[in-house]
Amino acid sequence: MGNDKMRMTKWKPTGLALAAIVTTAAVAFAVPSAMAQRDPAYAAARAAGQIGEQPDGYLGFATAPTPAIRALVQDLNIKRKAAYTASAQSTGSTVEQFAFTSGCNLIAQTKPGEKYQTPGGAWKTRDAGPPERDARCP
Partner 1 sequence: MKTTKTGARRLAIGGRCVAAMTGMWALAGCVQIDTPDKPIEINLNINIRQEVVYRLDGDAKKLIEQNSEIF
Q: How far is the CB of 18 from partner 1 (least distance, A)?
A: 22
- The yes or no reply on residue 72 touching partner 1 (CB under 8 A) is no
Query: Is residue 102 a contact point for partner 1 (CB under 8 A)?
Result: yes
State the maximum Cα–Cα separation within the chain, in Å, rounded to a whole number.
63
Choose, by CB under 8 A, the member of 45, 104, 116, 126 that binds partner 1: 104
Q: What is the distance of C-alpha 55 from the center of its chain? A: 15
Q: Is 84 in the site for partner 1 (CB under 8 A)?
A: yes
CB of 81 to partner 1, least distance (A): 10
80 binds partner 1 (CB under 8 A): yes
Going from the C-alpha of 46 to that of each of 6, 8, 66, 69, 122, the distances in angstroms are 36, 40, 14, 10, 17
Element (H, E) at 117: strand 115-117
Q: Which residues bind partner 1 (CB under 8 A)?
A: 33-39, 76, 79-80, 83-84, 87, 90-91, 93-94, 96-98, 100-102, 104-106, 109, 135-138
